[in-house]
Structure formats: structure tokens, C-alpha cells
Amino acid sequence: MSILTPSIAAQRTERQLLHSMEPEPFVTPVEAAAFLRCAPVTVKRLAREGKIPAHSIQNGIRRRWRFLISELAMAMKKELSSDRSSTPLSHRKEG
């Protein structure tokens, strides 16, 4: 079994999206966490803070988060190429 790095996984995801005529499915925080290699609670916190691209679905009082892997991949690419990449995303202050 091969473990993909996020950049390889992102490249494959982008290629699949370019060749696919079907819309990309939304994924759960658990699936997004597996892609980002972090805990689902971290993914939800980053989504709430607006630090990663996310789509909220209101369900009464609670928000349910859904993600597009392609958006996460692009955000991570941008993150890697930014000058601020030495500061972890989870420790950044908004501004």
C-alpha cells in the first residue's frame, strides 16, 4: 500500500478533476483530516477560524462542515509557497 504525500495526492486530485465531467463530491471533516494528516477536530477548528476553505451546512444550532479536496489542495499549495510558511497554519493570527 502506497502512502501519498499531500502534494502527490493534490496532483492526482487535480488531474482527476480535469478529466472528470462529474462535480467533485464534498467530503466530511474525517476525510479532510485524512487528506491533511491531522485530527478531524483540528480541521473543524481551522474551518471555523477561516484558515482553510470550508462550506458550512446549518443544521439548527450546529454547523456541519464539508470540504472539497481540490480547494484544500490549492490552499496547501498556496500555503507552501507563501513567505509565511514557517509559521504553522494553526498558530497564525487573523489579520
Model-level pTM greater than 0.75?
no
Distance (Å, whole) CA 36 – CA 38:
6
Distance (Å, whole) CA 45 – CA 52:
9
Distance (Å, whole) CA 37 – CA 30:
10
| pLDDT tens-digit map of 50-82 | 999 999 988 788 889 999 999 999 998 888 777
| pLDDT tens-digit map of 12-60 | 666 666 666 678 999 999 999 999 999 999 999 999 999 999 999 887 8
Distance (Å, whole) CA 1 – CA 4:
10
